[in-house]
Amino acid sequence: MPMPAPRRIASVTVMLLAAFGAYACGDDDDDDRPHVAVLECSGTCSCDAQTRSCSCSGGTDCVLAGEGNVTFSCDGNASCGLTCTTDCNIICPGTTGCVAESGARASFECQGNATCEFTCNADCKVRCTGAAQCLVTCSDVETCDLGDCRGSTDCGNGVFACGRACP
């Protein structure tokens, strides 16, 4: 049976890290902080080493690796597919939204009137603000913090709807 796309992307991420190491956005060997690394990106992605952030434009599908406080965003009215390893802040502003997946210690935020789908594979926090609509899938419901998920509804099987109806 084929592996689902988000798990396939995560598997590719681990294999790429192990086999090739990561190439970093703004890599600076004199800096002791862990670096932000874009492992794969179909579209436009730009990074800033000082702010430890990367942003992508519409129609982009990126895999980002990072440790520490890393921010990954989908800009403007873009629609992005984002995957991050650990310690990530994923922000989806604008009117279109994004589909995002992350590992441990993630923070997801859907703003404006965006429509977002988040997959939390470990402990995470979810913010669904304004008129945003979110669908959140939690691998472990005990580690998903949906405190800022407006009107959270349990749809069953670890899926929650915020500011919208269950699918």
How would you write the pLDDT of the chain (167 residues) with one tens digit per residue?
444 444 433 333 332 232 223 333 333 334 555 566 667 777 777 777 778 788 877 677 776 665 667 788 887 666 778 888 788 888 888 777 888 898 889 999 998 888 999 999 999 999 998 899 999 999 999 999 998 888 889 999 999 999 999 99
DSSP H helical ranges for 37-146: none
Any residues with CB less than 8 A from the CB of 85 and at least 6 apart, and which?
13, 17, 64, 65, 66, 67, 102, 103
In the chain, what are the domain boundaries?
A: 5-18+34-162
Residue 134 burial by Cβ neighbours in a 10 Å radius (0-12, 13-18, 19+): buried
| DSSP β-ladder status, 45-48 and 70-74 | unpaired
14: tokens are 């681990």
